[in-house]
Chain A
């Protein structure tokens, strides 16, 4: 006797952990990326905000600024989407609405990521 799972449980495919290991690891990998980028992001943002519109444009068009911004917004929204999904799976009790909220979260994350990245590329390539 090495298998304690019911037939129904196998069909549903929902064990206790589901696909959690992948999310656990990528959540932490994106955290490391963000921790490395944060000092550069804050330094660049504060210096740019000091100079208004021209300062912000100069920041986004500089190679380091574009790299840091693209990396920060990509790793950040990825990390945030995983975090919000974790909150949703903790607090939404019904499987149906839980799936719906997580889907909406993924759609929102992808949309805002795309808006941010396209904006950075437009400024960077247009300069």
Chain B
């Protein structure tokens, strides 16, 4: 229970008692991936600053970008980005009042997660497949 909560009335049952279902999972993932992407954008700004500072500065972060760790970060962030993109489009469709049928919504949730994982694997493969020094 949240600290500082002074209301004595009983609270509604919280997330721990609900049965997990796909739309719930995709909703939680949307928020979690959104938080990750915010930090990803802040990182993009920092990388651009290193790039603008000149080649000797970019050389300091280049080994980090072109490394197995860099490849994993690329895979993770791209997967998260594509998931948030696809699920975001679904949210826009929900906003106009369509796509609320539970069976269809649950199926789209699972398909969205699957597609983003596959797309992240494919793009990472394309990205690092023929790159020297990445080690994949």
Q: Which residues of A contact B (CB under 8 A)?
A: 28, 31-32, 34-35, 38, 42, 46, 49-50, 52-53, 56-57, 60, 69, 73, 76-77, 80-81, 83-84, 87, 91, 93-94, 108, 112-113, 115-116, 118-120, 122-123
Contact = CB atoms under 8 A, between A and B. Distances in A.
Interface of A is mostly: helix
Contacts of B127: 46, 49-50
Interface string B94-122: 01000000000000000000000000000
Interface of B: 2-5, 31, 34-35, 37-38, 41-42, 44-46, 48-49, 51-52, 55, 58-59, 62, 65-66, 74, 78, 81, 85, 88-89, 91-92, 95, 123, 126-127, 131
Interface of B is mostly: helix
11 contacts: A28-B92, A28-B95, A49-B127, A50-B131, A60-B51, A76-B37, A83-B31, A84-B35, A94-B4, A112-B42, A112-B45
B69 to A, nearest CB: 15
A108 B126 contact: no
Contacts of B85: 34-35, 38
B51 A115 contact: no
A93 B4 contact: yes
Given A93-B3, A112-B41, A49 B49 contact: no
Nearest to A49: B127
Contacts of B49: 115-116, 118-119
A93 B45 contact: no
B62 to A, nearest CB: 7
Contacts of A73: 41, 44-45, 48
B3 A119 contact: no
A90 to B, nearest CB: 9
Contacts of A84: 34-35, 38
A53 B92 contact: no
B65 A31 contact: no
Given A77-B41, A80-B38, A35 B55 contact: no
A7 to B, nearest CB: 22
